[in-house]
A = this chain, B = another copy of it.
Amino acid sequence: MSRAVVLLSGGLDSCVSAALAAETHDELYFLHADYGQRTEARERQAFEELAEAFSAKGQLVVSLKHLEDIGGSSLTDTSMEVTEADLESEEIPSSYVPFRNANLLAVATSWAEVLEADAIVVGAVSEDSSGYPDCRPEFFRDFEQVINSGSKPDTHIRIETPIIALSKKEIVETGLRLKAPIEKTWSCYRSEDQACGSCDSCALRLRGFYQAGAFDPIPYKVRPEYR
């Protein structure tokens, strides 16, 4: 019997990661965090619909509102602008929430230790990604080491990042192949009714669908042309 805690924001990447996790684990436990991000209500809806679609064995929604109090990110601070996507830039974007993934992984590990789960599944993407430092493979490798040194001797939890080396095109292709419920996901950083089509997250997602020769089923205000 293999149990996994799956970090599920409600976006495309976490949905495809959950679909891959469903192939190798018997029971999935879905974890979602509200950290004061602008589009949390819409993300939460996606989380709940995805948990149902995947028949999650357990669900946990946690509040990490202190990340909003601490600030430093356009994702949680509405006085900062969510910048237009620049997919060529090497800068860390303003949407970076300082050390967010470590906060999420710490919660996931506490839950996984009590559940006696063997894995935590994270939909982080390193290549073709947003440039966040807490999405790099070495960060996850080091966090796995911290779990090892900071939990009970009989606790053994792997961190699985099944899409970390995939391009957005490959993530879309994988989701379509596995018939993942992509139509229930939400990725936009800016709005909750129609995706804006021009923030970092929308731009990466739409380019991925374009490169995969597929149509993104969620509603957009504007669909930019890619070639």
Which residues of the partner chain B approach A92 to less than 8 Å between Cβ atoms? 152
Nearest B-chain residue to A33, judged by Cβ: B66
A34-51 residues at the B interface, CB under 8 angstroms? none
Would you call A57 an interface residue if the criterion is a C-beta within 8 Å of the partner chain's C-beta atoms? no
A143 contact set on B, CB distance < 8 A: 146, 150
| Inter-chain contact A60/B71, CB cutoff 8 Å | no
Q: A136-B149, A153-B133 are in contact. Are A106 and B98 (CB under 8 A)?
A: no
Chain A interface: which size bin? 35 or more
Contact with B along A97-119 (1 / 0, CB 8 A): 11111110111011101100000
Provide the residues of chain B in CB contact with A97, threshold 8 Å: 110
A113 with B138: CB separation less than 8 A: no
Q: Is the CB of B72 within 8 A of A114?
A: yes
User: Which of B60, B98, B136, B150 is close to A114, meaning CB atoms less than 8 Å apart?
Assistant: B98
Task: Tell whether, in the assembled complex, residue A63 and residue B60 are in contact, meaning their CB atoms are under 8 Å apart.
Answer: no
Which residues from 125 to 164 on chain A have a C-beta closer than 8 Å to any C-beta of chain B?
133-134, 136, 138-139, 141-143, 145-153
Q: Which among A96, A98, A138, A153 has the highest number of chain B CB atoms within 10 Å? A: A98
Residue positions of A touching B, CB distance < 8 A: 60, 62-63, 65-67, 69-72, 92, 96-103, 105-107, 109-111, 113-114, 133-134, 136, 138-139, 141-143, 145-153
9 cross-chain pairs, A with B, having the tightest CB-CB distances, nearest first: A62-B66, A139-B150, A72-B114, A134-B150, A98-B113, A102-B106, A103-B106, A99-B110, A139-B149
